[in-house]
Structure 1
Amino acid sequence: MTSSLVRGRPRHATAHIRVRVAHALVGAVAGAGWLAIPVLAAQEPATASAPRTTAAPAAPRDDESSAVDLILPVAVLGTAGVVAAYSYVRRGRRASGVAPSAPAAPTPAEADRRARAALVEADDSVRASEEELPFAAALLDERTLAPFRHAVHTARTELSAAFALWHRYEEGEPGQALPGIVGRCAEAGRVLDARAGELDRLRWAEVGPALEVAEGAFRRLAARAADARATVTELRERYGPSVGARVAGCAEEAMDRLVFATARLNEARRAVDLDEQGRAVRQLRAAEGSVAQAGILVAGVDRTARRLREAAALVPATLTGAEAVLATAAPAPSGADDTLAVVREELTAGPYDPLDALRRITRALARLPGARSGVLDTAADLVARAAVGEAEDFISVHRGAIGADPRSLLAAAVRTLAAPHPVEAAVLARRALELAERDVRAHGLPDSDTQGTAGAVLGGVLLGEEPDGGPPVTFGGPETRGRFRTG
């Protein structure tokens, strides 16, 4: 049976043993040569000075001849040993395939995993940096803030290019795109990391003013959150339970983030009173991140209400325009007539989702030439903007659990909408939202806690590296975004 120690020995250890054997043989030959030097030195003078006519004693002469005769065989054997050892080492290195010092190339699966991780990390860094800038803007003039805005813009540009590469890779482009994705993400992080320390010096020279800014933002947002809850009730009654459930989830999560912000602002105020600046900054930054996400959620409720009103006003005209286009189509798309008939019934049957109605109409006629003009084009653009906005908000406030695929699809939807191809953009955005919701379900919804810490970890406000939720995420790239760790 093979020893476990032998089985567990790494391959490069064998190469080291071969090298040591070669070194030992070289040392042996060198030692033999060194011992032979005195014999050679003694032999040469004795032979030169002996008279030819004088008979030398037989025994000493025989001893000297024997020593001289041994030198050549020893040298030959030593040289052969060195050559054999060198050949043995060379064969071993060739058999291993690479030099011991060369790093192994990543497997395709490992390269894919690295690219995914780089995209998620860079996207999180850009989002967190964007969320911090409004708090900095309340304390700094625009000229001072300009380099940080430029850094975020540059990082966002690099990230967009990385997502475009990833999209092509997923559509079948060879894996050579993966190093480019990692490189783009690394550059996005480097740009943000380079500005992180400077922003800290400007923002946290005095914590008191920053705390007052955050407390003011919190109070204004708390009032808006109360209004959002009333909006949820109105939307549920007007547009039905599906719409009501969607906006109700946003309002509930906004309140959860505000509960967390309340606790952290109180801790920051106590730390300021005790002159514990480091603790005050950590607590304040966590509160800022949570207030920013509550603001995204509340704004999402308001934006949804506005777009639903726009859609409801647009549905009758869109339906009429679709029927006119369909009447001249030859051949008509399969199922288009049925889709329009169902939507027309919904108009008189009671509460319905007007955005969903527009989405079905525009998608049913997407391949017809007349679908890209007039009211149909307006409807398709409204549906796409609503879908992209909903996916963007969801990923922003759940990014602690969301992987690369939903983020990539959202980036593709943004590019497609700008093309402009609104129907295709809406499809991509809805798929991004579906995958993001799947990731959150797989991660697990947070248990209710009195201070909302679990929700802050799910939202990426905290890094989640410690039992208390870990450090708050700050402006910066992967090297600096978690710099406010305790201690």
Structure 2
Amino acid sequence: MPIPRLLGALLAVLMTALLIAPSASAEPPLRTQTQITDSAGVLSAADQVRVQASLDRLFDKTGIKLWVVYVDDFDGKGWMAWAERTERLSDFGNDDALLAIAVKDRAFAFNVDPALTNNSSKLRDDVRRDRVEPALRGGDWAGAAIGAADGLAAGKSAGTGGAGMSLTSVLVILGILVLLAALTWGWLRVRGRRRRRDELAAARRVDPTDPAALAPLSLDALDGLSRDIVVDVDNAVRTSEHELTLATDEFGATRTAPFRDAVETAKTALAQAFTVRQTLDDSVPETPLQQRDLLNRVIIAAARADRELEAQTAAFEELRNLLINAPDRLDALTRETVALTARLEPAAITLDDLHRQYSDTALASVAGNVTEARDRVAFADATIATGRAQLSRPAGDQSELIDTIHAAEGALGQAATLLDAVDSAASDINRAITALPAGIVDIGRGIDAAAAQLAAPDTPRADELRAAREAAVAAVADAGARGEGDPLGVFGRLTAADATLDQILAAVDAQRAETEQQARILEQALFTASSRVKAVSDFVDTRRGSIGPEARTRLAEATRQLEAAQAKRAGNPGEAIAHANGASTLAAQAQALANDDVRASQQHYYGGGGRPGSGGSDIGSMIGGIIIGSMMRGGGGSWGGSWGGGRSAGRPGSYGGASRSSGNRYSGGRF
């Protein structure tokens, strides 16, 4: 075989052997024999004397036994696992501490039991950061051990000597914290009261009988509004019962029947409202959706009853005022009768002149107006005479006077209308003839708009709109057939049909706009609820190792409410908005509870004195639930020590540290 080929084969074999052979410098966890173990050979004889002297000083001052180990590397196990295993093999006790340095790996572990530093990791972290790491970065191997020993000795002595001052400081700090907590609590109460007051003021401005107007309100605003309206209606019922007694004496049972019905309806609604309020105020909690539904029922029922009471009260106030002013009113009706009587003959002359100008067909709508007006005036005159006779009766027997006055008023009003039509007939006929084409065009636009609305899906008040459109079409056909013969009557029917159609079209447009607004509110509520539920769900998912059942329960209920809102999105937007708002509220509660759980877990894992993120990725993995399964099965090592130190997360080749806290180690130890 040629020499170059032989050399290449030998080189390949050699490289393979080097790759598969275990590292000669690897140092597995060991049982320490002395307080100084220098497997890496980095200490001179003089260095060992200096380090041992510092270890002795530490033990004499504090009773802490610091063990120092120098190795080339941690055998691929990582500083924490290597140090923990070494402590176990060495039978370390509560008074033992370890400084392990991997010279080639440039990693270290500095383990001190919390009990040795007054259950605080601050001293350990200060020593690691200010004394150990600077020396290691400078290659001062002995200085790192001396700095660790002297730092623990100085810190332990200072902590013991200042115990009295520390207690005073603690009490002062606690007092400040209590004061701050009280001030914060008071500020939150003031802000909460101000917010609830503003929300209640806004709630009082909405229509309490409209469920859609109540849907965006918060539970606090609904609760305050329901309390106010129940009190208002209770006062109104009590006042109305007294008013009903007086009205019955004045106007009789028949005339006061509507008032009595309104009072009974209000009392029934009020009793139901008090029952619902009792349900809300008892010790059994309701879900936010149940609370919203109950509060809406209280507010809507009470508000409707209150409006009915107000309407009836106003009607009887008018009747009472009419009786009080009956003599003056009868005098005014007499004067009106005289004035209309004087208009009868001139109106007859005007009507004769109209017959000479227009056909009988064109005057059909006013031909009998003078005769009918004369009959109405005669009836009113006789009715007024009856009313004057009724005035002489006792006050309690004058209820019929109200009907008498109303009858006279109605007769005189009709007579005036009939005579006005005769007086304006000529101008009205000419105006009708001139305006009829434009009226037909205008009503045609309304007919087209109604057709477009009826062709659209989910048209509100479709039956009314269809009937109004058909009446408008009939009026247009009537105008075409009878426009020349009876222009006034045709024009009147046309304008009436047009007005009715326009009114219903306006109502349809308003209802569509309201529906669209409700849809926008629903979309916003769904978007907010979905965003909050997803954010909380992601938060819990990434921190599931530390989230407790309360937050998860709120999140599950928020998810259920969100699903209910989406299910009712098309069929019942009002309930869908309530479900979505409930989901947002529950999601916010879940987030607050989850935040508390994570903070509690961090305090537990970091021992109260550590810093989040200072112990590598294991704590984050446990909080996130990634390694919690292995921890529960006993894997991942023991958390029996107080861990500090480790590779730097900053840049390669530099020493860095992190802290990790846990409970005490097992009792016993070396001697």
TM superposition score normalised by structure 1:
0.35
Larger Rg: 2
Higher helix share: 1
TM superposition score normalised by structure 2:
0.26
